[in-house]
Amino acid sequence: MSKILIIGGGAAGMLASIAAAEEKNEVHILEQNEKLGKKLFITGKGRCNITNDCDMETLFENVISNPKFLYSAFYTFTNQDMMKKLEEWGLPLKTERGGRVFPISDKSSDVIDILQKKMQKAGVHIHLKTQVERILIEDEEFRGVRLTNKEVIKGDKLIIATGGNSYPATGSTGDGYRFAREMGHHITELSPALVPMNGKEEWIKELQELSLKNVAISLKGGKKELYQGFGEMLFTHFGVSGPLILSASSYVGEALKKGEITLNIDLKAALTREQVEDRLLREFEENKNKRWKNVIGNLLPAKLVPVMLEYMGVEEEKRTNEITKEERKRIVNCLKEFTITITGLRGFREAIITRGGVSVKEINPSTMESKLIKGVYFAGEVLDLDALTGGFNLQIAWSTGYLAGKCVKG
């Protein structure tokens, strides 16, 4: 029986502990917070988007950084395996739009509870409020850890599942990167990912809390298109957020280092320009003598009307039968290309995940073991792996955690 230490009681750490305990190991999970799964608790707006019920090809397509590295992890423990396990353990699930999987209860706490019960049943030793100060290495092999209270815990194998830099309020301190560096590992550039964006225009504040559904967006840096997508977005007091924007943030970071970029929003994505113009002509025909400011509300959400009246530059007191062909074209263009200047990404405090991390070139993809230090394994967000929204990042945590847990035996 090997003694396995796991630093971090998040998604990857919890599942790794279960997998390692099932291999007849003595497993100790060291968590610096007062409870397990603190970040997991807030995922999916507190509902916990556990994984995505998609095929394997789609799973890989949604991974942004180093998808090929995940081949063994994803096939060893698939999204379907995760769903099956949770239901077997007593957590009923449901699948929503876009393949997003949630507990039927819509409570992330239920996911954490079911994992904790399984951990306790498997005999995992849980150490809360326990912070690791240093990893003890001898002859390039793991020997144990030293805690901040100077206590030394010896062990045969170590799994580092400390998470990234995102949401520091949940205890994400970046310690895992420090541990990795001290062992000689290279850390790729860290940046916030799946994060809202800052907008330049003053009128953005007037649109705070406005949600737009079924819109298409494109982001450009100069003439280069950086991202295209369709779905839902949200205006905030500082800029834009929502699923579409969070996904786009994974593609625009490098361009934003060079300067501002342009966000184009197609407010009528289901219609061509010609169809939008036909719709506009019908509105004008049905409301011949009405003022333009009283008709635009038939085309847009009420909160957007004042901003768009100014943005379009068409005199709001004009009657619809006075609007010129040139002005009509301008209205159509504005509905199809509502433009915002993006000045930057928000910080780690608002990022769902961290992009960058321990270089996967230095990790064995078949086992998650370090190629530099024998007996040390990595799992989850601490690695240079990230994906789009929709449950894909949690699946990375589940798959890498499970694989590491299964491979620490012996």
pLDDT digits (tens, 9 = 90+) for 231-269: 999 999 999 999 999 999 989 988 998 999 999 999 999
What integer is the mean pLDDT of 39-52? 88
- pLDDT > 70 fraction of the chain, expressed in percent and rounded: 98
Residue 170 has pLDDT above 80, yes or no: no
Say how many residues make up the chain.
Answer: 410
What integer is the mean pLDDT of 164-177? 77
Q: Which of 7-21, 250-264, 310-324 tops mean pLDDT?
A: 7-21
> Looking at residue 173, what is its pLDDT?
75
β-partners of residue 102 are: 94
> Looking at residue 169, what is its pLDDT?
66
> Looking at residue 188, what is its pLDDT?
96
> What is the SS3 assignment for 265?
strand
Residue 46 has pLDDT above 70, yes or no: yes
For residue 171, what pLDDT band results from cuts at 50, 70 and 90?
low
> Looking at residue 45, what is its pLDDT?
79
| Residue tagged 């003595």 (tokens) | 26
Residue 172 has pLDDT above 80, yes or no: no
Terminal Cα-to-Cα distance of the chain (whole angstroms):
7
Q: Would you state the structure tokens that stand for residue 359, as one six-digit string?
A: 């270089």
State the Cα–Cα distance between residues 230 and 243, nearest whole angstrom.
Answer: 10
For residue 110, what pLDDT band results from cuts at 50, 70 and 90?
very high
C-beta neighbour count of 98 within 10 angstroms: 14
> Looking at residue 165, what is its pLDDT?
80
Sign of CA dihedral 184, 14, 36, 396: positive
**Each residue's pLDDT tens digit, 219-233:** 999 889 999 999 999
**Each residue's pLDDT tens digit, 182-200:** 999 999 999 988 999 999 9
> Looking at residue 168, what is its pLDDT?
67
Q: Would you state the structure tokens that stand for residue 42, as one six-digit string?
A: 């807030």
Q: Give Rg (Cα) of the chain.
A: 25
Q: To the nearest whole number, what is the mean pLDDT of the chain?
A: 94
For residue 373, what pLDDT band results from cuts at 50, 70 and 90?
very high
- DSSP class per residue in 172-207: ---HHHHHHHHTT--BPPPEEES--EEE--GGGGGG
HEC string of the chain equals: CCEEEEECCCHHHHHHHHHHHHCCCEEEEECCCCCCCHHHHHHHHHCCCCEECCCHHHHHHCEEECHHHHHHHHHHCCHHHHHHHHHHCCCCEEECHHHEEEECCCCHHHHHHHHHHHHHHHCCEEECCCCEEEEEEECCEEEEEEECCCCEEECCEEEECCCCCCCHHHCCCCHHHHHHHHCCCCECCCEEECCCEEECCHHHHHHCCCEEEEEEEEEEECCEEEEEEEEEEEECCCEEECHHHHHHHHHHHHHHCCCCEEEEEECCCCCCHHHHHHHHHHHHHHCCCCEHHHHHHHCCCHHHHHHHHHHHCCCCCCEHHHCCHHHHHHHHHHHHCEEEEEEEECCCCCCCEEECCECHHHECCCCCEECCCECEEECHHHECCEECCCCHHHHHHHHHHHHHHHHCCC
State the Cα–Cα distance between residues 410 and 399, nearest whole angstrom.
Answer: 20
**Each residue's pLDDT tens digit, 328-351:** 999 999 999 999 999 999 998 888
